[in-house]
Amino acid sequence: MANPTAAMLVIGDEILSGRTRDTNTHHLAGELTRHGIRLMEVRVVADDQPAIIAALDALRSRWDHVFTSGGIGPTHDDITADAVAAAFGVAIGVRDDARALLAAHYERSGLEFNTARQRMARIPDGAALIDNPISIAPGFTIGNVHVMAGVPTVFEAMVASVLPTLTGGAPLLSQSLQVNRGEGEVAEPFGALAAEFPDLSMGSYPFIRNGAHGTNLVIRGTDGAQVDAAMQRLVALFGRPQ
Q: Which of residues 15-54 bind its own copies (CB under 8 A)?
A: 15-23, 25-26, 28-33, 38-47, 51
Closer to its own copies at the Cβ: 74 or 143? 74
Q: Quote the least distance from Cβ 136 to its own copies, whole Å.
A: 11
What is the spatial distance between Cα 74 and Cα 60, in angstroms, rounded to a whole number?
Answer: 25
Across the chain, which distance is largest between two alpha carbons, in Å? 66
Binding letters toward its own copies, positions 139-178, x by CB under 8 A: -----------xx-x------------------x-x-x--
Q: Is position 99 an interface residue for its own copies (rule: CB under 8 A)?
A: no
- Which has the closest alpha carbon to 171: 36, 4, 24, 26? 36
Helices and strands: H and E segment counts in the chain: 9, 11
11 three-class SS = strand
Closer to its own copies at the Cβ: 32 or 158? 32
Q: Is position 61 an interface residue for its own copies (rule: CB under 8 A)?
A: no
Closer to its own copies at the Cβ: 142 or 156? 156
Closer to its own copies at the Cβ: 29 or 229? 29
Closer to its own copies at the Cβ: 15 or 142? 15
Q: Quote the least distance from Cβ 72 to its own copies, whole Å.
A: 11
Q: Quote the least distance from Cβ 20 to its own copies, whole Å.
A: 7
Residue 117: which residues within 8 A CB-CB, separation 6 or more? 74, 102, 106, 111
What is the spatial distance between Cα 81 and Cα 91, in angstroms, rounded to a whole number?
Answer: 10
Q: Is position 119 an interface residue for its own copies (rule: CB under 8 A)?
A: yes
Q: Is position 206 an interface residue for its own copies (rule: CB under 8 A)?
A: yes
Spell 69-88 as b/e; 16+ CB within 10 A means b. Answer: bbbbbeeeebbbbbbbbbbb
